[in-house]
Structure 1
Amino acid sequence: MGKVLRSYELLEERMKDIYFDFYRETYREGTALDNKTKELIAIAASLSAGCQNCLEGHLKKAMKYGAEGAEIREAVAIAVGVAAATIVDRSDLANFEMNFNELLKKAAGAEKADSKA
């Protein structure tokens, strides 16, 4: 099975087996996506999830499967785009829940009043 990270020591053996079986199945040859593409997706997902160990492992595997620098940079750019969209989405939600735009208008009005005084 290879190297087992210490965090997996916390799992029951049965749960580790389920996880590693799932992982092996996900990266099985002969599925709709080749392993290089899977690893490029995993790079973007690792960045989005904030998983440094995942990122390091998937970068190495992507290169092993032939990913070039341009492909890896594009996967990173996709993750950046998703992260940026998440911030936009959260600010939209804050605006909806807190009427954020109105708060900003009030703050701007207060700043104008202070600057005239």
Structure 2
Amino acid sequence: MPFMNEIMPDTAEAFGKLRDSIFEGGELDRKTKELIAIASSVLMRCQYCVDVHSQRAVANGASKKEIAEAIAIAMFIAGGSQLNWTNIYGENVYDLIFGEKKSDKSGNEKLDKEKGCCCGN
């Protein structure tokens, strides 16, 4: 973060202290923390972070197989999260799509689309 060091040195220093407080000490060992950081980096789609935390994990005793498992866990969470998200309707969108359609008082089937969606449809 060279630009942060130059423009906002106090913020850069605080960020470094946060990192140090998380990765040093505590109940989890450094290898485990780096494996969690790898999985989190995959979910955040930060290639740089995946690379850095993978190198640090190896330096702290992680094997390539352990790194691969951390990535696989992130892939599972990313995929599974797409099955259980909700939207403005207040219920699982897949239940709206594949479940019984709601009907209005006249018995006509409809979906409540008064609010529209983010793509304007």
- After TM superposition, the score normalised by the length of structure 2 is 0.69
Q: Deviations over 1:48-100 (max 9, x none)?
A: 1111111110010001101012211111111011011111123873235xx21
For 2:59 and 2:77, the matched residues in 1 are separated by 26
Gaps in structure 1 of 5+ consecutive residues? 104-117
RMSD: 2.3
For 2:62 and 2:33, the matched residues in 1 are separated by 11
Q: 2:4 matched to 1:8?
A: yes
Q: 2:80 matched to 1:85?
A: yes
What code does the residue aligned with 1:45 have?
Answer: S
Distance 1:7 1:90, change over 3 A: farther
Q: How much has 1:11 moved relative to structure 2?
A: 5.6
For 2:12 and 2:66, the matched residues in 1 are separated by 32
What code does the residue aligned with 2:18 have?
Answer: F
More relative contact order in 1 or in 2 (CA 8 Å, sep 6+)? 1
User: Which runs of structure 2 are paired with 1:40-79 in the superposition (5 Å)?
Assistant: 40-79=35-74
Contact 2:42 2:71 in 1 (8 A): yes
Identity over aligned pairs, percent = 28
Distance 1:69 1:100, change over 3 A: same
What code does the residue aligned with 1:80 have?
Answer: M
Gaps in structure 2 of 5+ consecutive residues? 101-121
Q: How many residues align?
A: 96
Moved more, 85-94 or 67-76: 85-94
For 2:30 and 2:9, the matched residues in 1 are separated by 27
Distance 1:89 1:10, change over 3 A: farther
Query: Which structure shows the bigger proportion of residues in helix conformation?
Result: 1
